[in-house]
Structure 1
């Protein structure tokens, strides 16, 4: 049975201080906006957050940063967030930067039950420091461990009441692999339909990975407005 939450605060009520959470999205696309806002309001702190990036200064995960609710960030990109940069340089937050493809595969591996894998990305750089290196076919590879989380927060365009999810275009990004890698996955969705209404061939995340659903509207802010 899936949990159907009536509010964002209800959806994040079981996320405690010190939890490890994965958050879907790329930039501001496909982020679970309302779930993040609920964590800000709830004041949950000492979080380890696994996500591609950390939002922008005034939206998304950047709001958790601003409130000093993130203890450690595991991601691939810092760029658009000045507060993130400031906290890193001031030693106020622990950061583990990972090549983007490696990050995606570490999350996917966590969801698939694969404890570790070898990749050529990062060999000979700081990324490979203190990690095992092996040679295959005359080429060096670094051992990377899988990532899992206590909670995965994702954003989907549509869900049915069995928890099957469909993402909208590029908003799919990290969401499917993150949905599979959390002990508890909470999906923030725009539309909820009866079971059987979604074509099985169109399902991106099977409901077996999803424990809770929240129907919520998004602001869908644009990360960088470009006009001419």
Structure 2
């Protein structure tokens, strides 16, 4: 039966690729919204609302800081896409970041990556370009997280949970992996690399640290 259905299914998928990509991208965003709504609904009954007095000034301040953090994060992602693709619409990349940022805390991390890849592909970017950009972002976030941990734990005198040498090792490994000569060898193994030729030549050590600082600010402001 499948051998008779497959040609029709393949024809449908080919004909409606753009619609399918949009459905995957926006569908994952809606799934994330539903997941958060369910969490709020299920945990709201267990929370003692009368025990706390809501400080509206504090709430507005937190929301403003969070919004600024999102701006830093979205600009960082747009710059990563620009560096990997060699040409990119910064506004579109930032918009896709805003749309998909809520999917990052879903139980299945792959859904967040799939939604971002689908929406960028719908905007004209190949899967390989976006996937490589995601790898760059994950390395940048790892480096920024290690720096944030060291700053918070030792600069402010907070007791460290993980020994410093472990965190420093992660920091060094992250910087080594993301260095252009090594990272280029790694992404050459990504399926589709020969077709899309994602670039890392714009990721100098100065640009990497600039991106790390942007994501570090986003973390401090609470959006990562």
Give the TM-score normalised by the residue count of structure 2: 0.23
User: Which one has a bigger Cα radius of gyration?
Assistant: 2
More strand by share: 1
Q: Which has the higher contact order (CA 8 A, sep 6+)?
A: 2
More helix by share: 2
Give the TM-score normalised by the residue count of structure 1: 0.23
